[in-house]
Structure 1
Amino acid sequence: MLNRHVLYLSNDTLTAWRWERGRLLGGASFTNDSAGMDDLLDHLDHQRQVPVLLLTDLIEEDFQRVHLPHVSGRAGVKLTQRRLLQQYRETPFRHHEVQGREPDGRRDDIVLLSALTNPAIVLPWVEALEQERIPLAGLYSTTLLSEHLVNKLGLLDEHLLLVTQQSAGWRQSYFQRGQLKFSRLTPAIDRDGDAVNVGAEAAKTQQFLTSVRLLARGSVLETVIIAPAGQLPALEMQCADGPETAFRFLPLAQVTDRLGVSAAVGDAAGALADTMLLALLATTQPASHYTLGPLRRYFQLWRARRNLYLAAGAVAGIAACAVGLNLWQAWDARADSERLAQEARQFDRRYNEVMAAMPARVTSTANMRAAVNVERMLVVQGPSPWQMVSMVSAALEQSPQIRLLQLGWKVDLPGQPPAGAPVLANGSAGGTGTAAATSMSSLLAGIPARPPQSLSIEAEILSPEDDYRNAVNTMNQFARQLAANPRLLVQVDKPPLDTRPTVRLDGKAGTTAAPTRARFTLNLVWKP
């Protein structure tokens, strides 16, 4: 938690405390005059860059409840600011708090307006701090801070009067379901500082609340008095319950424990609630109750400087982490490099040992690698009957009445002599044998591309005897299935019923011939 200067200002004195490591330290008092201001500046001289929280407990603090039209956005803010300026024109320290809306009618906003009506008490201290460029974080009120106190203590009665003894006297603050409505400061102490007439002052406050219609007649006002345990018996004698008043007493030490600030108050705890409120302010540090305007500029500069320091620290931390990560990665990479180099040396040694045990090589390693590459290329690129056979197999799956008898596959090489061509004495047909052999050799290896291939199919049709119409239709359907491949050319070499004019039809009527099957022959040419 950041260190703070926590100042408590009353009408007569100002008390300065230091908030360090979650504890209140110090407690020097200064009179409300020019000499006291000089002493305060000398007191703060060694810690001028520590922010200041100024908590006021003044008699001249006014509270008004008004109803304003429900306007949202920037227009609503301007409307509220105008109403504040009209209500408290003579002071720059103004505050407003929207506490809900009316249940009926226009449903106007219920707004609590408050202000320090005597700025002459606060301005000299604030201007002295600004003159010395001491950052003023906020200007707070014990009354407005007590609203946070009530909520933390769980005192959410419908009508609650909170009474606390502070430096300026007994502060009586009226709440409705945890929302502040009114507050007044009464002396109620004798010359020895003992509490007197606390119950009578509470009765006066109740009469005032009834007159302004904040408290309906017949409603019970729950009055909670916070005081040291040693003063509670005397206070109980002054405060008697009535038909419209119920008193409860809370020890100050018990309240600090419930707020979680007992350790922060420590030795600074006394008979007053000042230190409890200061510790509550330092631990929660809400937004400034009263506007400071330009009087808050040195705190804004301090906050900007702190944010820059934090950003620079964050950047430095990230850079340090990045450098550390890079160093770790470099060390890891160096270790991996050494490990890989060691493995490479082991592999080289094992390779040399294996090669030394092997007999002399017929050729070089490069030639063997080239031979393996050529073999792989022949497997992938060279011609093979499997592609055409798979096409025929797929077509036969759809024509079960066709039975395959014979297949003849060959590669159609350009420049290859046709069947029956005369071969010259040097082994070539119509040209040089060297060129033809070279061309055939490269194409058979699939260089530069796969050569065309042909497949001769001889098959028979399992159909009733002499049903040639069905046989022809079956052959045509089989040929169309094969021709569906765009790179496959299908030619009918011999149909089941040969009706060509060059073929002789023969047969004998009225004689029983040996049962025969309708056979046909197809020639397939595939260009990959």
Structure 2
Amino acid sequence: MKTIVLFLTHEVVSAYGWSEQSALPLAFFPHNELGISDFREWIIRHASLSYCIVTDLVEEDFQHEIIPHLSGKDQRTLCERKLAQHFRATPYRRASVHSAARRGGQDSLQLSALTQSDALERILADLAVVKAAVVGVYSVALLTQIMLSQLNPGQPCALVMSCNAPGQLRQSYFTPEGLRFSRLATFRAQQDTHANRMAGEIIRARQYLMTLHLLRHDETLHILAFFDAALAPMHAEVLLALGDVAELVQINMQANISDLAVRLGLPKTCHHWCDLLVAMLVVRGVPNQYAPARVMKYHQLNILGRRVLLGAIAGLVCACILVLTLVWQVFDGHRQLALGQQVGQALEQQRQQLARSLVQSPLSAAEAGQLEQVMQLQRDHLQSAPRFEPTLRRLSHVLQALPGLSISEVRWLTGQYGAQAQGENAEPNSPDPVAWRDQTLLISGQVQNRLAYRAAIAEVEALVQALQRWPDATVSVEQWPLDTSPAASVQPAAAKQGGGREMKPDFIIRVQLVFKAGVSKEGA
């Protein structure tokens, strides 16, 4: 139990807590010296709890006005001015705007205040002495308005009757604009006169509504009675006591408080009207209605403290996560280091084992010769083998300057290993050690316009001249674009219509790159 609800009436202050079943009465303090002393001692023992104060007093006034549709700071300024105009003498006042939701319209302003607050001031002063947190100050009428708005949004006019304590009858009249008035009737009577007293209060409430022009003389008054099961059988007796007025009164008894609680989203274990009020404040939570900011300072400090605590817990959790991450990274680093050391040790063991094997079984002369030949092959041939990437890259640079030529195929060939050496100084039947590094390019392509014979020849000659500037390059043209017949001019279209058959090239150029010892062909 963290929150205490204090019900303030003209006779007593009642303390209630919320259990798992319903509202739990804790203590009752009458408005006398003994009750005040007991209350102060009691709150000292419960200073760590939070308190909600619910007033059920006669001295609660309500006003209703129509104001221009405003928003933001202008609306707050107007509400403060209206409150100061109507309820200047009390700090326990409240303004609520029912917006018209359109610019240029008019809003409904509900003003309410606790006009006599001596008992409330004393209770708040006692709570301030022990630095108890005050969640808010509420009234039964405004809490009833919240319930009714949740039960029947946009409800028609109705008089709501409730009984929070024996001998008290709260009557609140609601319209679609909200609460218009609320009055508390107190009487001391026997059980057999309750129906007559209740009927009398209904008649007086009807007359008051007609005085305020909220009810016509022949209009039916709809009454919604939130009574416990003990008062529900009085329905027929009240109608009988109303006499002729009973024809203009329609009473709806809400005796099933559990069903009402379920409709309000509250625990279904509520069985009394007091249970509903306590559950509204403790279980659901309702914003403050009347308490000034100075009264709620310890509650605000509690909220701030909880936020700081939650922030500290969140920071601690983040720090723990960070520490765990760092620890995991350290352990993972140690694991990777140990794994690397194991791999290094395994390689070292293999090296040592290989060294021991070499020492124990030395190579023969033939094996040493074969190993030397393999190493010589690696140095002389494999590492210096011709590569096609530099050659084709050089060819692409040449073709960038000749956009009129379209290359369809480039064949890259190398010399044959073991070819016979040629030349005056070559020994007979001896292989040429570098002939296999020679490269041959067969370049096939088409010209842009086959009918423009001179332009085609010029483009091919430009390509040949560019290729002849390569070091150690021998260029020969195996086919020139000489076919100027009409059949050749329609060859591309015929190739497309023939299912993509390969098109005959316009020119074929052979480029031979001779490798010379001591010169890197790729670096030329």
TM-score, scaled to structure 2: 0.69
Aligned residue for 1:287, secondary structure, equals coil
Among residues 459, 464, 470, which one is paired with 1:477 in the alignment? 459
Aligned residue for 2:118, secondary structure, equals coil
* Amino acid across the alignment from 1:150: L
Aligned-partner Cα distance in 1 for 2:293–2:375: 86
Pairwise CA distance, 1:227: 1.5
Q: In the alignment, is the contact (CA less than 8 A) between 2:468 and 2:475 conserved in 1?
A: no
Aligned residue for 2:122, secondary structure, equals helix
Match of 2:162 in 1: 164
Cα distance change of structure 1 residues 408 and 15 upon mapping to structure 2, 3 Å threshold? closer
Aligned-partner Cα distance in 1 for 2:154–2:441: 104
Q: In the alignment, is the contact (CA less than 8 A) between 1:399 and 1:478 conserved in 2?
A: no
Match of 1:246 in 2: 250
Match of 1:111 in 2: 109
Aligned-partner Cα distance in 2 for 1:121–1:154: 34
Match of 2:36 in 1: 37
Aligned-partner Cα distance in 2 for 1:6–1:72: 34
Match of 2:505 in 1: none
* Amino acid across the alignment from 1:60: E
Cα distance change of structure 1 residues 354 and 14 upon mapping to structure 2, 3 Å threshold? same
Cα distance change of structure 1 residues 373 and 493 upon mapping to structure 2, 3 Å threshold? closer
Among residues 126, 130, 135, which one is paired with 2:128 in the alignment? 130
Pairwise CA distance, 1:488: 5.0
Aligned-partner Cα distance in 1 for 2:197–2:62: 24
Pairwise CA distance, 1:188: 5.2
* Amino acid across the alignment from 1:202: I
Cα distance change of structure 1 residues 454 and 179 upon mapping to structure 2, 3 Å threshold? same
Pairwise CA distance, 1:108: 2.1
1:69 aligned onto 2:68: yes
Aligned-partner Cα distance in 2 for 1:389–1:352: 51
Pairwise CA distance, 1:89: 1.0
Pairwise CA distance, 1:186: 1.2
Among residues 377, 384, 400, which one is paired with 1:378 in the alignment? 384
Q: How does 1:404-415 map to 2 (within 5 A)?
A: none
Instruction: Please list the CA deviations of residues 229-256 of structure 1 after superposition, one character each: whole Å capped at 9, or x if unmatched.
Output: 2321223321368443211111154334
Aligned residue for 2:99, secondary structure, equals strand
Q: How does 1:356-435 map to 2 (within 5 A)?
A: 360=362, 378-379=384-385
Aligned residue for 1:293, secondary structure, equals coil
Aligned residue for 1:184, secondary structure, equals strand
* Amino acid across the alignment from 2:59: E
Q: In the alignment, is the contact (CA less than 8 A) between 1:155 and 1:178 conserved in 2?
A: no
* Amino acid across the alignment from 1:161: L
Equivalent pairs counted in the alignment come to 452
Pairwise CA distance, 1:455: 9.0
Aligned-partner Cα distance in 2 for 1:95–1:491: 104
Aligned residue for 1:44, secondary structure, equals helix
Aligned-partner Cα distance in 2 for 1:208–1:232: 25
Aligned residue for 2:295, secondary structure, equals helix
1:211 aligned onto 2:217: no
Aligned residue for 2:230, secondary structure, equals helix
Pairwise CA distance, 1:116: 0.2
Pairwise CA distance, 1:381: 7.8
* Amino acid across the alignment from 1:120: D
Q: How does 1:144-223 map to 2 (within 5 A)?
A: 144-154=142-152, 157-167=155-165, 169-177=168-176, 179-187=178-186, 190-191=189-190, 195=194, 196-216=196-216, 218-223=218-223
Match of 2:501 in 1: none
Q: In the alignment, is the contact (CA less than 8 A) between 1:51 and 1:135 conserved in 2?
A: yes
Instruction: Give the aligned CA root-mean-square deviation in angstroms.
Output: 5.3
TM-score, scaled to structure 1: 0.68
Structure 1: unaligned runs, 5 residues or longer: 410-419, 424-440, 447-452, 458-469, 497-519
